[in-house]
Amino acid sequence: SARNVRKKKYQEEQKQGGIFRNLLDSLRFRGKKMGAVLGLVDTKLTPFQKKKLLHEFTVFFDLNKDGKLEWKDFDMAREKICEMSGWKPGTDKFIQTHELFVTIWRKLQDEGDENNDGLITAEEWLRMWQKFNEQCLKQASKADEVSYERKLPDWLEKYIRYKFDLFDRTGDGYLDCDEFEYVLGDFGVPARDARSAFLMISQNNEKKVDFEYYKDLCTDYFRSNDPSALGNFITGKLVFSDK
């Protein structure tokens, strides 16, 4: 019938359109990857990305505030989380936390300590992220389950797990506003800012903040250049101004 003919024609058009769209996507992907190899695609960190990364470096990594990262900073972070959580020396949690921070520091040092002096400066920190951006794009494949824009370094995956567990004071697998405010307050973030930030990332308490969602937010923070991404607020900082 005429109806069946039209239906068959529509299906053929849809099929051809799908093939065409897939071909275009493939060409765009290959073009962007080749552009990175030839230096035609800009993989440099934007000023906005640098501000976020330097804020994390200064507030949450450089705990002794001397402008550089060293094992001392990570040992202080380990002591902080154990003290806040009531984990005594010799307990399983205390030992696991120590091992975690040793692993994070070693991996971070391997990737960021350019001159092998046992320190990571703010400049080395930014260059490490710059190299990671370039590496992700050059090694990207269409078959990757995670797009190159969403990939994270191995050490950061472990760090995100630590941060989530630090926030999750009750151990119920979810973060709430009181937990968020309490932990960020220990890093000098004003309570009002912490609460405002949590309302944004939780979409006015409509969205449950479990580990997978928190990891997505962290990925936004560390990799995205989108000023409207909700992950920009995970540190409690509300504005990354030019000042």
For the stretch 167-220, pLDDT in tens is: 998 889 999 999 999 999 989 999 999 999 999 999 999 999 999 999 999 999
pLDDT for residue 182: 94
pLDDT for residue 35: 45
d(CA 30, CA 6) in angstroms, rounded, equals 36
With b for 16 or more beta-carbon neighbours within 10 A and e for fewer, the 165-179 pattern comes to: bbbbbeeeebbbbeb
Average pLDDT, the chain: 82
The set of long-range contacts for 80-85, using a CB threshold of 8 Å and a minimum separation of 24, is 80/186, 81/162, 81/165, 81/166, 84/166, 84/183, 84/186, 85/166, 85/169
Q: Give yes or no for residue 139 having a pLDDT over 80.
A: no
Radius of gyration over every alpha carbon of the chain, rounded to an integer in angstroms: 22
